[in-house]
Amino acid sequence: MQHASVADHLLEIADGIDPAEIPSLDDAVADPGDAAYSPEALERFALLAAELRSLRGYVGEPLLDIVRRIIDTTGTDVELASAVSPAAAARRDNLDLFVKAVADFQAVDGDVTLPALLAYLTAEDDQGNGLDVATPTEADSVKLLTVHRSKGLEWDSVFLVGVCETRFPSNRSRTLWTSAPSILPAPLRGDAHDLPQLAGWDKAALDAYRAATRAHDAEEELRLGYVALTRAAHRLSVTSYLWSPRATPFGPSDYQRVVREQLEEWGEPVTDWLDKPQKGDPNPYAAVDPSKPWPATGTGVEAALRLEAARRVRAANPAGPDPELDMIEAARVADWDLEIDRLLAEARRDRSSDIAVSLPSSLSATAVARLRDDPDTFARELARPMPRPPSSAARFGTRFHAWVEARFGQQDLFDFDDLPGRADAGIDDDTDLKELISTFENGPFATRTPHQVEAPFALVLAGQVVRGRIDAVYTQRAADGEPGYLVVDWKTNRTATADPLQLALYRLAWAELHGVPAERVRAAFYYVRTGEVIEPAGLPDRAELERLLELGGTS
């Protein structure tokens, strides 16, 4: 039986078969069988099996560590560093972009598993968009990418290939939800307002829906064609082909005919134009064998350089690390050395009286203050967290914050018990709460409408995420006359003892979230009981806050 490609053959093998029964390439490498392999091939099989076995021992590490370990173990970075071809720089850039894509895939907090990354990469491949490997670089290389991925980019010369009828524009219609239960119904999609919708349930309505969908797909394909034809700054080459492995030939598509007509209108007639062959015309390439030997025979320039480097290493130390061991045995001993090092590290850690405590995925502003003031106590609390006794004062303080949020028209999203108390205390009972509200109504912020209340933020400092909510933000002029903001934190305690570090974090977070200089964001505590507005001077900037976290995290 003939198969169109190896991929089709593999899919046919895997389709409908129990995954447990599918042959594993890893098993084949570990036990290649009795075929007539050369001694060098058997050595390489054994080395690859040992590398894979070693790498599987690290699948529990963070994703970036796994990717870096794979690159180091396989020698990919060494090969790219020694590459001398004109495309070498682009290859190195693409590897860096892949590592960056893995880093971007990792969540800000929480662990992302290796299966999740593999699923993400598989989805990228299935959707046909691919990773961002065609980002313009200084490397003198050809960028190969889809029309979707080219959106927003430009090159001096662009070659748009395969502009054949039924290919581009495509004559394939999307699968409709009315005939495939696996397709999300159009009314439930996020872009439902841009899609045709089914107007009824009879045959006429279904036919009209199919026709409207085909027209919509044609319009989307036209937009895609506009993107493809406008990527070139100076030269655009549009080509098509007539013959393929299928029996029916192709012809130029409507898009290519439009390009030809425009050139003729400009006085640049197109030569060597080929129309669609007649049905039954023989394929001139039918007698040509398209197969090519793979892998290519012979040694390339870069491979020759690496072989020469290996020869020089052997010449400098002909005996190697141990003249009694061959290459496979030496690799196995190296694995043993690594395993012994890991076991020793675990033993030292278990016997050590010091306990390494990792910071949580995110910290609050008050947690940052505790880390600064007493890192040892903070570490003990992380190592052995203890429940805190309920505080009625903190509960009432939270109720005041909730009242202010409702006072300025914000809908309550949480119960009072779920909102953080922000270290506010001092409200004794409901009567005291009413008095506090009355005092606020007579204070300087009673008639000022805030720009935002309970503004959430996530700030990354020295690799650590700091989260929180800003009580209120007001718009006002900065000292230089430019538009600015005033960040305010309500305080209900009886003494003006709030930590300015809290305001420094709020100010920096608001400035960076909204792209304004920190100098245009003022920050103040409003002590509701006394009506005092205290604006601390000399709040630390980003560099000082990061230094504080680094020192606190290593104390």
pLDDT per residue as tens digits for the range 431-487: 777 888 888 888 888 888 888 888 888 888 888 888 888 989 999 877 677 788 999
Which whole-number Å values give the CA distances from 516 to 138, 404, 482, 484, in the listed order?
32, 26, 10, 8
Which residue is associated with the tokens 């935002």?
452
**Lowest mean pLDDT: which of 185-189, 304-308, 405-409?**
405-409
CA pair distance 492, 362, nearest whole angstrom? 26
What integer pLDDT is reported at residue 421 of this predicted model?
41
Three-class secondary structure assignment of 486-523: EEEEEECCCCCCCCHHHHHHHHHHHHHHCCCCHHHEEE
CA pair distance 259, 160, nearest whole angstrom? 12
How much is the average pLDDT of 10-27? 62
Q: Band of the pLDDT at 126, cuts 50, 70, 90?
A: low
Token pair, residue 340, equals 């012994």
Which whole-number Å values give the CA distances from 35 to 29, 31, 167, 419, in the listed order?
12, 11, 43, 69
490 neighbors 454 (Cβ within 8 angstroms): no
| Comparison of pLDDT for 161 and 150, the residue scoring more | 161
CA 329 to centroid of chain Cα atoms: 40
**CA dihedral over 364, 526, 494, 443, signed as positive or negative:** negative
How much is the average pLDDT of 220-243? 90
| Comparison of pLDDT for 136 and 202, the residue scoring more | 202
3-class DSSP state of 247: coil
CA pair distance 456, 116, nearest whole angstrom? 28
Q: Is the pLDDT of residue 15 over 70?
A: no
212 neighbors 205 (Cβ within 8 angstroms): no
CA pair distance 34, 12, nearest whole angstrom? 26
CA pair distance 470, 432, nearest whole angstrom? 24
What integer pLDDT is reported at residue 364 of this predicted model?
85
Of 490, 331, 484, residue with least CA distance to 419: 490
What integer pLDDT is reported at residue 424 of this predicted model?
46
470 neighbors 457 (Cβ within 8 angstroms): yes
Q: Band of the pLDDT at 389, cuts 50, 70, 90?
A: low
Token pair, residue 294, equals 């793979």
Ordered by where they begin, the domains of the chain are: 146-179+194-279 (3.30.160.800), 382-553 (3.90.320.10)
CA 21 to centroid of chain Cα atoms: 34
DSSP 192: G
- Is the overall model pTM greater than 0.75, yes or no? no
448 neighbors 424 (Cβ within 8 angstroms): no
CA pair distance 366, 463, nearest whole angstrom? 18
Which residue is associated with the tokens 């996530």?
458
Express the helix, strand and coil content of the chain in percent, nearest 5 each: 45, 10, 45
What one-character-per-residue DSSP string does 46-57 give? HHHHHHHHHHHT
Three-class secondary structure assignment of 433-480: HHHHHHHHHCCCCCCCCCCEEEEEEEEEECCEEEEEEEEEEEEEECCC
What integer pLDDT is reported at residue 416 of this predicted model?
38
Beta carbons within 8 Å of 140's beta carbon, 6+ residues apart: 86, 89
Q: Is the pLDDT of residue 109 over 70?
A: no
Letter for the amino acid at 130?
G
Q: Band of the pLDDT at 508, cuts 50, 70, 90?
A: very high
Percent of the chain at pLDDT exceeding 70: 82
Buried (b) or exposed (e) across 199-220, using 16+ Cβ within 10 A? eeeeeeebeebbeebeeebeee
How much is the average pLDDT of 146-160? 86
DSSP 232: E
Q: Is the pLDDT of residue 367 over 80?
A: yes
- On average, the pLDDT of the chain sits at 79
What integer pLDDT is reported at residue 44 of this predicted model?
86
3-class DSSP state of 276: coil
